[in-house]
Amino acid sequence: MDVHLSKNIFGNDLYINFAGSKDDIATWVEVASNSFSFPIIYETIYKLSKNKNVDLILLYKEDIPIGTALIFTNSNVVGVHLLSILPTYRGNAFSKKIIEEIVSFSKREEIQYLTLIASSHSSNFYENLGFKKQFILNNYMKKCKKY
């Protein structure tokens, strides 16, 4: 589903584009990887981007890509995934603006729920935007190879 968000959310220097081309997707992967400090696999995101219910958002400031979000929409729920802002641009309410735009879209489309998974570090941020904590997930890792 094509998410129709406002292109300019602060003015001419801050705007959203949708990553559709291979170059855009490569940029999206680079920004997300640098934001999360772990590699995001291009091939995985490229395959996801072909799903009609998935939109890849790139946030630009003065034509520099600074943030990402992956939006999955079905008839009743919008899922926000991999919302990220590059470390040097954090603290400027850019994530909040992305979420506000997604909320506006969801209301226009009469979507019943907006959902996301966030770290405990971000819980106050999302609760201040009206999200309610449902449950806590644990992350598990096993070392498989010696590096």
Q: What is the pTM of this model?
A: 0.84
Return the CATH number of 8-128, one of 1.10.260.40, 3.40.630.30, 3.20.20.70, 3.40.1160.10: 3.40.630.30
Tokens standing for 118?
């966030």
> Three-class SS of residue 62?
coil
Q: What is the pLDDT of residues 89-115, one digit of tens each?
A: 999 999 998 999 899 889 998 999 999
Domain ranges for the chain: 8-128
- The model's pLDDT over 25-48, given as tens digits with 9 standing for 90+, comes to 999 999 999 999 999 999 999 999
